[in-house]
């Protein structure tokens, strides 16, 4: 907001005098930047030897592919919605609705995969609190590069629905962090995955929703 | 809404052409003045126009030449409009404009009509207190006496009414 009102003509003269050439932002370039950052993070993560040792066996479990495709899909859709909403005329709302539908569909598939298991009796053992908290912390850390990258682009862009965009960014980054963690996570129990992964994603999304609208105010 | 030349002028401005930019901002400024006169109390229009011109300047790199300038500008103008409505929540009232009937009378009337149309979509209790406190400059206590609502309820209804107005505007693809 201008501190002191000038006549419009004077303000316009000042803005024109301050004009410097700029490179127009495009959704495609922002998408490529985010994609490159995410791929780099995944590559570095795998290069550190963090991949689960029983990966060949895990790849035969439907639940491994369930968590990988679910999180990849959620990250892709919410990431796209985020980048689109960095343009003033773009809205994240439709993308968020799609993401919610995908999450519900993924949970339904997970429920189907879980139906053959022992049931809810061993809930405490299945949720495995000690390992669950460790997984939660790792997913939060793995979400940080994507949150930071998307936050920089959000701040540089001109989102006109800052709270919606912040939700979208938080969901995208959280889903990506969880996607990367899938390669290290030793559990293929759908209940464990649904609980701890959703908790991690919700945590990142809520913190993003609280912080990013303030950081990206314009 | 946009002149056909605006797309071209903005592209030239992004390349550093100050003359095109000055001409574009002049036309955009006039368009914004009409836009806000239909949507804001007269006392807020100057500030809103200049705030939006500054936003256009700061965010000019976000204009994608492959897309229409009018949609880009309309989205920024609407965003700043919602900002103004939110700002109304934190200020006791809009200052009354003593010169209201002089040169801008016609625009002030159309502003009132547009605002009235928006207010008509709120609950009557909310619309009444927004009219009294935010547009006519009455205090919370005076509004309370006039409407029979408690002072707390007046504050709550103003807050909720303005939030509802912001949500209504955001949900509409109103670029003109």
Contact B64 A161 (CB under 8 A): no
Question: What pLDDT is recorded for position B139?
Answer: 83
d(C-alpha B8, C-alpha B3), whole Å: 10
Residues of the domain holding B144? 5-171
So what's the pLDDT on residue A67? 93
Stronger pLDDT, A22 or B135, i.e. the higher one: A22
Report how many domains make up chain B.
1
Highest-pLDDT range among A187-196, B25-34, B129-138: B25-34
Instruction: Provide the 8-state DSSP code for A7.
Output: P
Q: Is the dihedral of CA A203, B79, A74, A180 positive or negative?
A: negative
Residue B131 lies in a domain: yes
Nearest chain A alpha carbon to B81 = A160
Size of interface A-B (CB pairs under 8 A): 92
Phi-psi region of A6 (alpha: psi -120 to 50; beta: other; left: phi over 0): beta
Determine, yes or no, domain membership for B176: no
* Mean pLDDT rounded to a whole number for chain B: 81
Please report whether residue B106 resides in a domain.
yes
pLDDT at B42: 85
Mean pLDDT on B89-102: 51
Dihedral of the CA atoms B86, B90, B95, B96 (nearest 10)? 70
Gap between the Cα atoms of B145 and B139, Å rounded: 10
In order along its 218 residues, chain A shows pLDDT tens digits of 455 566 788 899 999 998 999 999 999 999 999 999 999 999 999 999 889 888 888 888 899 999 999 999 999 999 999 999 999 999 999 999 999 999 999 999 988 888 766 666 677 778 888 888 999 999 999 999 999 999 999 999 999 999 999 999 999 999 999 999 999 998 888 889 999 999 999 999 999 999 999 999 99
Task: Say if B99 falls within a structural domain.
Answer: yes
**Structural domain includes residue B23:** yes
Tokens of A99: 């993401």
Which residues in chain B have their CB less than 8 angstroms from residue A2's CB? 47, 50-51, 54
User: Chain A residues contacting B, CB < 8 Å?
Assistant: 1-2, 5-6, 8-9, 11-13, 15-27, 86-89, 157-158, 160-161, 218
Compare CB distances from B21 to A16, A87, A158 and report the shortest one's residue: A16
Residue A1 pLDDT: 47
Is residue B68 a part of any domain in this protein?
yes
CB A92 within 8 A of CB A161: yes
Any domain includes B108: yes
pLDDT value at residue A108? 92
Taking an 8 Å cut-off on Cβ atoms, the answer to whether B59 and A86 are in contact is no
Write out the residues of chain B at the interface with chain A, using a CB-CB cutoff of 8 A: 13-16, 18-19, 21-22, 25-26, 29, 46-47, 49-51, 53-55, 57-67, 71-72, 74-76, 78-79, 170
Instruction: Dump pLDDT digits (tens) for B97-112.
Output: 444 444 444 444 455 5
Task: Specify if B75 maps to a domain.
Answer: yes
- pLDDT for the residue B169: 78
The partner residue sitting opposite B51, judged by closest CB among A2, A16, A86, is A2
């Amino acid at each position: 907001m201008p501190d002191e009102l000038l006549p419009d003509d004077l303000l316009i003269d000042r803005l024109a005098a301050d004009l410097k050439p700029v490179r127009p932002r495009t959704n495609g370039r922002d998408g490529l930047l985010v994609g490159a950052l995410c791929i780099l993070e995944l590559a570095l993560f795998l290069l550190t030897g963090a991949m689960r040792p029983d990966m060949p066996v895990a790849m035969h479990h439907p639940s491994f592919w369930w968590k990988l495709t679910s999180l990849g899909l959620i990250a892709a859709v919410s990431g796209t919605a985020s980048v689109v909403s960095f343009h003033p005329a773009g809205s994240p709302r439709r993308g968020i609705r799609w993401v919610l539908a995908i999450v519900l569909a993924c949970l339904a598939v997970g429920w189907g995969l879980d139906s053959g298991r022992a049931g809810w009796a061993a809930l405490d053992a299945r949720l495995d609190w000690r390992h669950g908290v460790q997984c939660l912390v790792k997913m939060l850390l793995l979400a940080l590069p994507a949150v930071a990258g998307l936050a920089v682009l959000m701040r540089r862009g001109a989102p006109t629905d800052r709270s919606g965009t912040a939700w979208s960014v938080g969901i995208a980054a959280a889903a990506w962090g969880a996607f990367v963690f899938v390669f290290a996570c030793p559990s293929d129990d759908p209940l464990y995955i649904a609980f701890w992964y959703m908790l991690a994603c919700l945590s990142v999304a809520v913190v993003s929703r609280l912080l990013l609208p303030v950081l990206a105010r314009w | 809404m946009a002149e056909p030349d605006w797309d071209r002028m903005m592209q030239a401005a992004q390349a550093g052409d100050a003359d095109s930019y000055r001409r574009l901002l002049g036309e955009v400024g006039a368009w914004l003045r009409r836009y806000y006169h239909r949507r804001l109390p007269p006392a807020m229009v100057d500030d809103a126009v200049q705030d939006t011109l500054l936003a256009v300047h700061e965010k000019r790199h976000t204009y994608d030449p492959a897309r229409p300038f009018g949609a880009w500008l309309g989205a920024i103008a609407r965003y700043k409009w919602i900002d103004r409505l939110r700002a109304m929540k934190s200020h006791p009232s809009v200052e009354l404009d003593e010169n209201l009937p002089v040169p801008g009378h016609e625009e002030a009337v159309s502003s009132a009509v547009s605002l009235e149309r928006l207010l008509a979509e709120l609950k009557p209790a909310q619309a009444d207190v927004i009219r009294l406190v935010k547009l006519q400059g009455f205090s919370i206590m005076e509004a309370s006496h006039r409407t029979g609502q408690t002072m707390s309820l007046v504050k709550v209804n103003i807050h909720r009414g303005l939030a509802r107005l912001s949500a209504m505007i955001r949900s509409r693809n109103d670029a003109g």
